[in-house]
Amino acid sequence: MFKLNPMWRKKNKKVGLALGSGSARGWAHIGAIEAIEEAGIPIHYVTGTSIGAFVGAVYATGDLDSLKQFALQMDWKKVLSYFDVVFPRSGLMDGKKVHELFSLHTDARTFDDFKIPVKMIATDLDTGQKVILDSGNIIESIRASVSVPGVFTPVHLNDKWLVDGGLVDPVPVKVVREMGADVVVAIDLNSGLASKKPTKKSKEKIKQLPKERNEFIIRISEQYGIAERAVKKQASRWFSSSSKPSIIDVLGSSVGIMEEQITRINLAMDPPDILIQPRLGDLKMFDFDQAERSIQEGYNQAKFQIDNIKSLL
């Protein structure tokens, strides 16, 4: 006799979001969440990796609209003001300004302050194992989850040196299902990176931005000592665009391509119930000033899936 899967008989099913890594493409998470909430679909659990951890944390405090307005106002001057360049040893940037950035939108400090349960993903630099962060200081956990190797310095937390969770679990589907989600909605930001081709619009943007980026780096360099001034001067080269890709572009693209391959494997092993894949493959690691496009693309792609999500509830 045919037996129904118990899940289909269950009432009040819980929805979990798995917010993937993807640097500047992460603003798409804002649009996707907006589309889901607009449809009246409750979200009960959130897991996030890297930028997904950051957006998920802000959302779980109830302050997503503040983050959206902030993102829409970003230009390159504001983007670079949130990166603290250091002497290159274990990373080019320290990431301490995550505290300032997160605090702009919420007073939450520990995981107990979240309105819905959240887990963040990081990677143990020594063992290569996935580390699930779900207690303690929110900001330090976010810093660990977003610390792209070679770009940001590792974070020492819970007696471990932690880096970007995207190295092991770019879209944490299994984690949110284990939290109790009956329906898992995954947002993958790394789809199409390996085959990306710059659009005419992105090429024009590349031609226009370097002057602004370099002028800003030079201006803030004057505020520091001689030693730091040399580092800032080098930073202008990291962010400039030329016939050769910058060190930031090389690191960002390499990590992104690797995470795309890991995502394919992980999603095949632990497929979500709904997969949302915003088409933002041409955006680079620090293209945070492209918020309007990213948010809208996340919204549009999530909107296409609303009926499918409702059919599972």
Q: What would the two tokens of residue 44 be?
A: 């009960």
Cα 81 from Cα 211, distance rounded (Å): 16
Instruction: Note whether 18 and 187 are within 8 A (CB).
Output: yes
Active site residue 134: no
Q: What would the two tokens of residue 245 be?
A: 């890709």
**Could you tell me which of 116, 181, 175 has the C-alpha nearest to residue 312?**
181
Give every CB contact of residue 307 below 8 A, 6+ residues apart in sequence: none
Phi then psi dihedrals of residue 269, to 5 deg: -80, -40
Instruction: Note whether 156 and 96 are within 8 A (CB).
Output: no
Active site residue 270: no
- 3 state SS of 4: coil
Q: Which of 63, 124, 164, 188 is catalytic?
A: 164
- 3 state SS of 34: helix
Q: Which of 50, 145, 191, 241 is catalytic?
A: 50
What residues act catalytically? 50, 164
